[in-house]
A and B are shown apart, each in its own frame.
Chain A
Amino acid sequence: MARAAQSRVADVRVGILAYFIGVDRLYCAFHDPTGREQMFPLGPCRETLPRIELLLEVIDGAYSPARRERVFEEFSRGWGRTLLPPPEALATADVLVVIPHSSLHGIPLHAVVYGAGEAPLAVTHGLTYAPSGTLFTRCVSRNAARRFDPVAWRFPRRGGDSAPPPPRSCRAAAVDVKFHATGEYEQVAHLFLDHFEEQQWCGAERIWIKPRRGTPGADVLCIVCHGHYDPEFPGRSGLLLARHPGIGAEITIPIHYGRPFLFRDLPFRFFPTEISVRPGCSPEILTVDELMVGASTGAQLIALIGCSTATGQTSSADDFHSLAHQFLKIGAASVLASLWTLDFDFAKSWAPRFLRQWCDLRLPKALAFRESIREELDENPRPVSEWAVPALLGDWL
């Protein structure tokens, strides 16, 4: 079999799609890899916004399974194309950084089947989402992977190449608070853990994974658990974790002349009452709101393998509230998260493909994501509602 041609990180062509919802129509400013900007008028608001609203309702879990599938398919193979510039413009880039606006946050553009090849954007391009240009710049500037010379970084890596080694440390946790699949969830978490030299395993029943400000964290954080999205109060959305015994973690805070006081770091909300929990489990929820207080991370990648971990809502000044976005705001360079309900069997099949591309072959994350989705769809064709769930957010490298 022919060996794949190598590329250099320095030669990756990166374009930016910055969206703007105007009074009458939507616009997309495409900054091509040479830095030239082209403004593309897209569909009229009166046609496009109701379609977006319906898609967002489906993403939030509304309607029956057959109707949800129809809505996803209509977006993927139909009107979703109206949200993109012409294929010949996008063909100039290998990686696209999508900066949505208003209700376009959370729309899975990577699911749009596009161009002559009739392949989804996730397969033709590396793609990452950033809630704003400012946050994207911050993600890029803090990414430890960027300390390596991009001219020397060649991929896919072969023996003797000068590609940087994968990140060193990984912290992982897995728990199923609803049913009895913790063992299976742990297997997926270990797929991540096993790729790194320093492995920090949090165990199944002692998970309190809030990254604390000032404490050294891991390069990669992987959490496999149920996610919970609260459409009424997005800040109360979170990861459904567990702790035994008791609630909250203890933290020591120096108050006066070095005298430490011990506090309970209580969760910001009680566990949602509408969620039934398996017997014997002490569930807790790590919320978006809680991550806003006293949390920071320097991780190169945070993988949130759970449902709706990137689902959220736009707030003032076009800020977007979701778990994944909050992890970017507190310091992560990139986050892998789910735009809606994640199927566990898909996650189990797809995650090792991504890890092979990113850690073993040392592709940039966005290209590793592209290759992993391509492989997955080649071997296990799935409906859009399953394969398009995960998305990369933040830096593409």
Chain B
Amino acid sequence: MSIWDKFPNYDESELERLVRSAAEILADAGQGSRVPEDALEMSDRAAAEEIRADLSGVAPAATADQVRAALRDPEASRRISLAALDEIRKQPELAAAVEAAYQRQMRKLGGPELLLAAAPLLLLVLRIESFKWKDLQITFGSSSDAVKAAVAGVISGLTGRAGSGS
């Protein structure tokens, strides 16, 4: 059974590994584009700054702190990750590459944990417009719009929740 067959019903461990695998594949694919070379190593604060700039069209009032809070909140981070993964699974070749990377990760006896792996994945999905994968040209333009809308919704929900609680 493919890991994509379970979408979106992943347990915490599966989601963490899938997000990490997707981020690593996109980081390699996106070299030379607008993706920072250290995308996988960025602190969540630096990633939030970058992501906020990309969200300015759909969520002009969102601050870097709000983006960061969304990426640190387990439920919000899960929704953001699933939105990004949803776009990836629509590209069969890319989905297969991510699945292969996921299976390779499963065969490692440990390995570095990507804290807040959602941040690099989100940044990569937003920044990579198109890339060549094997013999195919994969275009991500509309995908990033869908993900931006999803993230804006999550941030707005979090902000509303914080506001109603105060």
What residues on A are CB-neighbors of B106 within 8 Å? 179, 181
What residues on A are CB-neighbors of B110 within 8 Å? 226-229, 240, 306-308, 341-342
What residues on A are CB-neighbors of B31 within 8 Å? 66
What residues on B are CB-neighbors of A224 within 8 Å? 109
Tally of A-B residue pairs with Cβ under 8 A? 71
Contact of A63 among B40, B107, B109, B111 (CB under 8 A): B40
Nearest neighbor of A275 in chain B, beta-carbon distance: B113
Tell whether A347 is near chain B: CB-to-CB under 8 Å.
yes
A32 to chain B minimum Cβ distance, whole angstroms, is 37
What residues on B are CB-neighbors of A178 within 8 Å? 13
A391 to chain B minimum Cβ distance, whole angstroms, is 15
Binary interface profile of B, 12-49, with partner A (CB < 8 Å = 1, else 0)? 11001000000010011001000000001100000000
Tell whether B163 is near chain A: CB-to-CB under 8 Å.
no
CB-based contact A342/B108 at 8 Å: yes
CB-based contact A274/B108 at 8 Å: no
In whole angstroms, what is the CA distance A307 to B106 when docked?
12
What would 11 A/B residue contacts be, using CB atoms closer than 8 Å? A64-B28, A65-B24, A65-B28, A67-B28, A305-B109, A307-B108, A307-B109, A308-B110, A338-B109, A341-B108, A347-B109
Contact of A276 among B13, B101, B108 (CB under 8 A): B13
B11 to chain A minimum Cβ distance, whole angstroms, is 7
In whole angstroms, what is the CA distance A276 to B110 when docked?
11
| Interface residues of B, Cβ cutoff 8 Å to A | 11-13, 16, 24, 27-28, 31, 40-41, 101, 104, 106-113, 115
What residues on A are CB-neighbors of B109 within 8 Å? 224-227, 305-307, 338, 341-344, 347
What residues on A are CB-neighbors of B40 within 8 Å? 62-64
The interface size of chain A toward B, counting residues with CB under 8 Å, comes to 36
- Name A214-249 residues within 8 Å CB distance of B: 224-229, 240
What residues on A are CB-neighbors of B24 within 8 Å? 64-65
Nearest neighbor of A345 in chain B, beta-carbon distance: B107
In whole angstroms, what is the CA distance A1 to B12 when docked?
54
Q: Which of A62, A178, A275 has the most CB of B within 10 A?
A: A178
| Interface residues of A, Cβ cutoff 8 Å to B | 60-67, 178-179, 181, 224-229, 240, 272, 274-279, 305-308, 338, 341-345, 347
CB-based contact B101/A277 at 8 Å: no
Nearest neighbor of B120 in chain A, beta-carbon distance: A64
Q: A64-B40, A344-B107 are in contact. Are A274 and B115 (CB under 8 A)?
A: yes
What residues on B are CB-neighbors of A225 within 8 Å? 109
What residues on B are CB-neighbors of A228 within 8 Å? 110
B101 to chain A minimum Cβ distance, whole angstroms, is 7
What residues on A are CB-neighbors of B115 within 8 Å? 274
Nearest neighbor of A278 in chain B, beta-carbon distance: B13
Q: A66-B28, A67-B28, A179-B106 are in contact. Are A61 and B13 (CB under 8 A)?
A: no
CB-based contact B101/A65 at 8 Å: yes
Q: Which of B11, B28, B41, B110 has the most CB of A within 10 A?
A: B110
Nearest neighbor of B124 in chain A, beta-carbon distance: A64
In whole angstroms, what is the CA distance A351 to B13 when docked?
28
Return the 5 tightest CB-CB contacts between A and B, nearest first. Answer: A307-B110, A61-B112, A276-B13, A64-B27, A226-B110
CB-based contact A274/B113 at 8 Å: yes
